[in-house]
């Protein structure tokens, strides 16, 4: 790290030591890394561009944060959107997709979900739709009927659509791009 720091100094760049942290993934112990004789902080979670990465390689922390942010967006729109009787279901669903689903699935193109995580996302999705459509669990309406009424897809399908768009984007990149080369190597 000292060599990197010295190279930065040659270009008049300064590295903020208080904002530089170390996180390892898949290791039993974290290395001690110093820069300019100061030990860098070891962290277990790292947030970059609103996405959280954890050292245990689990997506659960990121999913909990995404669900929390989507819940906040959903709650902020309750009075003006969801309880507004003058708006059509189509308008409400379009706002839901734009504001809540995009918040929930932000950066999901890079996620590798397990069944319990997909289930968690689908539970949030269905509960949100039930609330938006004014349907109670006492009404004994199936999830398929709710999705049909809203004209929207299951969470798993929305998730897969995002993955496919990302794969298509990478596929159409010029050969030799680092991302395309990395994606091809990891898919083998």
Per-residue pLDDT tens over the stretch 36-73: 777 777 777 777 777 777 777 778 888 899 999 999 99
Q: Is the pLDDT score of 109 beyond 90?
A: no
CA 114 vs CA 76, 103, 139, 156, 178: distances in Å: 30, 20, 31, 11, 27
- CB-based contact 44:23 (threshold 8 Å): yes
Cβ distance 173 to 166 under 8 Å? no
What are the residue boundaries of the structural domains of the chain, listed by start? 2-43, 56-171
Question: Ranked by mean pLDDT, which of 9-13, 42-46, 68-72, 158-162 comes out on top?
Answer: 68-72
| Interatomic CA distance for residues 17 and 96, integer angstroms | 41
Confidence band (pLDDT; 50, 70, 90) for 170?
A: confident
Q: Compare 174 and 90 and report the one with higher pLDDT.
A: 90
The alpha carbon of 107 is separated from its chain's Cα centroid by a whole number of angstroms, namely: 4
Residue 98, pLDDT score: 94
The Cα 103–Cα 69 span in angstroms is 7
- Band (pLDDT 50/70/90 cuts) for residue 188 is very low
């Amino acid at each position: 790290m000292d060599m990197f720091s010295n190279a930065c100094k040659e270009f008049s760049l300064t590295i903020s030591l208080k904002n530089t942290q170390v996180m390892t993934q898949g290791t039993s112990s974290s290395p001690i890394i110093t820069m300019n004789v100061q030990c860098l902080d070891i962290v277990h979670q790292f947030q970059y561009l609103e996405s959280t990465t954890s050292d245990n390689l689990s997506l659960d922390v990121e999913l909990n944060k995404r669900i929390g942010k989507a819940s906040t967006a959903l709650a902020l729109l309750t009075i003006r959107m969801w309880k507004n009787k003058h708006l059509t279901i189509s308008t409400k669903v379009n706002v839901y997709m734009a504001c809540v689903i995009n918040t929930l699935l932000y950066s999901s193109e890079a996620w590798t979900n397990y069944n319990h995580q997909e289930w968690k996302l689908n539970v949030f999705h269905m509960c949100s739709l039930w609330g938006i459509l004014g349907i109670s669990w006492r009404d004994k309406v199936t999830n398929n009927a709710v999705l049909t009424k809203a004209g929207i897809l299951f969470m798993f399908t929305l998730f897969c659509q995002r993955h496919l768009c990302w794969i298509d984007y990478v596929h159409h990149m010029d050969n030799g791009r680092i991302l395309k080369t990395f994606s091809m190597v990891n898919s083998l």
